[in-house]
């Protein structure tokens, strides 16, 4: 809530320091500044629920080799996305050491000398490598307790020299593996829609990868703010790596379901672009991260499969899924138009897809 103060001025002052939330914590603040105050944190409505778990799906080698296994995996994916919009994958082919090094690399970036970090600080949405805090700092009602390093890793692989020295090798390695896993997930999703395995790949859904490497510093007043407030992702899908700290929750049937850390698993969630092209057959799901109560930072990496901005490819509901009974619910749009809309409104808890509904 804006409240009765010069919010815009305080936001700008914070942004201009280029130190992120981590810089505030390092400076020894003991209270959460009011630009981060959310109205609805303490109100636990929807209620937390510990009885439900998001599905875990084994996508091990058999998926490629045996039709029987592949069919059963596709059935599980379909059930998971229709029920939750979220699932975890295990035996996904990414070695544990790579996932651990990725978390170390992210931590290394955010914990290095702030003068080095500042050289990457930017809010230019066309910039391929940038660090900032709260992509929607100027448009949201309240800021979140999180800093992010964002890198476009595909289709054009960045020059090593353009990436931060401290994490460039692992970012390149991790992204290469993400692209491969992304292909598999889009094949499974295509088949779960009753389409041929390459369908979504041929629409270029698996082609572009933006890697968001988040750092959630410990928060002195975690009941005042969020790590990331409730939102859906703009992507086709997002593949998420989270560390051991916890705090990620998914909204299901009016309840916030915890997604407890599992060091071997990666989380897959469906984004708004997939909801739009599947004409609501698959839906993107609201999720959030609570502000970090612990002593240690929380680290996560979100692999957003979506086009780099600017991109003019037009997307609308796929004609294969439409019929007289199921007419298109969305107008055609581009990732660029969607991204601009998201940025202009900020994460405000309502579905940004409404803007594109017919
Ligand atoms: C996101 C997101 C969750 C996390 O980047 O959109 O929801 O655990 N991240 O960092
Ligand atoms: Ni998200």
Q: Ligand 1, from 229, 287, 297: best to mutate by most atoms within 8 Å of Cβ?
A: 287
Per-residue pLDDT at 49? 58
Whose atoms come closest to the Cα of 210: which ligand? Answer: 1
**Model pTM score:** 0.95
Band (42; pLDDT cuts 50, 70, 90): low
Cβ atoms of residues 97 and 105 within 8 Å:
no
The residue whose CA has the least distance to atom 5 of ligand 1 is: 302
Q: Ligand 1, from 145, 234, 248, 258: best to mutate by most atoms within 8 Å of Cβ?
A: 248
327 CA to centre of ligand 1 in angstroms: 32
Query: What sign has the CA pseudo-torsion 240, 255, 186, 128?
Result: negative
Burial string for 27-48 (b: 16+ CB within 10 Å, else e) reads: eeeeebbebbbbeebeeeebee
Cβ atoms of residues 216 and 306 within 8 Å:
no
Using a 10 angstrom Cβ sphere, with 0-12 exposed, 13-18 middle and 19 or more buried, the burial of residue 6 is: exposed
Domains of the chain: 56-354 (2.60.120.330)
Q: Ligand 1, from 149, 229, 289, 298: best to mutate by most atoms within 8 Å of Cβ?
A: 289
Per-residue pLDDT at 39? 87
310 CA to centre of ligand 1 in angstroms: 23
Band (254; pLDDT cuts 50, 70, 90): confident
113 CA to centre of ligand 1 in angstroms: 25
CA dihedral of 247, 251, 255, 258, whole degrees rounded to 10: -30
The residue whose CA has the least distance to atom 1 of ligand 1 is: 302
pLDDT > 80? residue 260? yes
pLDDT > 80? residue 321? yes
Mean pLDDT, rounded, of the chain: 92
Per-residue pLDDT at 315? 96
Band (92; pLDDT cuts 50, 70, 90): very high
Per-residue pLDDT at 164? 98
The per-residue pLDDT for range 163-218, each reduced to its tens digit, is 999 999 999 999 999 999 999 999 999 999 999 999 999 999 999 999 999 999 99
Q: Ligand 1, from 213, 228, 250: best to mutate by most atoms within 8 Å of Cβ?
A: 228
Per-residue pLDDT at 84? 86
Mean pLDDT is lowest, of 49-63, 118-132, 225-239, for 49-63
The per-residue pLDDT for range 268-301, each reduced to its tens digit, is 999 999 999 999 999 999 999 999 989 999 999 9
Per-residue pLDDT at 95? 96
333 CA to centre of ligand 2 in angstroms: 21
Output the ligand 1 site: residues, CB below 6 A: 212, 214, 228, 233, 240, 242, 248, 287, 289, 300, 302
The per-residue pLDDT for range 131-142, each reduced to its tens digit, is 999 999 999 999
302 CA to centre of ligand 2 in angstroms: 8
195 CA to centre of ligand 2 in angstroms: 26
The mean pLDDT of 33-56, rounded to a whole number, is 76
pLDDT > 80? residue 108? yes
The CA–CA distances, whole Å, from 21 to 59, 93, 230, 315 equal: 37, 34, 19, 36
212 CA: nearest ligand 1 atom:
5
Band (241; pLDDT cuts 50, 70, 90): very high
Cβ atoms of residues 65 and 246 within 8 Å:
no
How far apart CA 21 and CA 28 sit, in angstroms, is 11
Residue with tokens 């390695």: 173
Per-residue pLDDT at 289? 96
High-pLDDT (> 90) share of the chain, %: 81
The mean pLDDT of 50-71, rounded to a whole number, is 78
CA-angle at 126, arms to 354 and 8, nearest 5°: 70
Cβ atoms of residues 320 and 294 within 8 Å:
no
The residue whose CA has the least distance to atom 6 of ligand 1 is: 233
pLDDT > 90? residue 236? yes
Per-residue pLDDT at 1? 46
> Could you tell me the two tokens for 263?
């060091």
């Amino acid at each position: 809530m804006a409240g009765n103060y010069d919010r815009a001025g305080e936001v700008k002052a914070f942004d201009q320091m280029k130190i992120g939330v981590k810089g505030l914590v390092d400076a020894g603040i003991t209270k959460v500044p009011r630009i981060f105050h959310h109205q609805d944190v303490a109100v636990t409505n929807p209620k937390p629920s510990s009885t439900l778990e998001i599905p875990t799906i084994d996508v091990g080698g058999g998926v490629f080799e045996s039709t029987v296994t592949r069919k059963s995996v596709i059935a599980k994916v379909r059930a998971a996305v229709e029920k939750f919009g979220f699932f975890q994958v295990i035996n996904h082919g990414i070695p544990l050491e790579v996932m651990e090094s990725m978390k170390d690399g992210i931590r290394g970036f955010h914990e290095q000398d702030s003068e080095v970090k500042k050289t990457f600080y930017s809010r230019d949405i066309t910039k391929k490598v940038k660090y900032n805090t709260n992509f929607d700092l100027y448009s949201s009602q309240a800021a979140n307790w999180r800093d992010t390093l964002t890198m476009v890793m595909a289709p054009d692989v960045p020059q090593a020299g353009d990436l931060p020295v401290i994490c460039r090798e692992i970012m390149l390695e991790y992204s290469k593996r993400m692209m491969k896993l992304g292909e598999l997930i889009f094949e499974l999703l295509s088949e779960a829609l009753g389409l041929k395995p390459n369908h979504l790949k041929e629409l270029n859904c698996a082609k572009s990868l933006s890697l968001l490497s988040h750092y959630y510093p410990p928060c002195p007043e975690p009941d005042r703010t969020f790590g990331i407030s409730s939102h859906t992702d703009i992507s086709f899908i997002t593949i998420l790596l989270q560390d051991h700290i916890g705090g990620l929750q998914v909204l299901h049937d009016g309840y916030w379901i915890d997604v407890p850390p599992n060091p071997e698993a990666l989380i897959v969630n469906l984004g708004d672009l997939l909801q739009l092209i599947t004409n609501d057959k698959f839906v993107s799901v609201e999720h959030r991260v609570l502000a970090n109560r612990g002593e240690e930072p929380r680290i996560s990496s979100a692999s957003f499969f979506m086009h780099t901005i600017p991109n003019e490819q037009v997307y609308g509901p796929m004609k294969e899924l439409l019929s007289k009974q199921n007419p298109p619910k969305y107008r055609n749009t581009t990732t660029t138009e969607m991204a601009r809309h998201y940025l202009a409104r900020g994460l405000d808890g309502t579905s940004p897809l409404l803007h594109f509904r017919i």
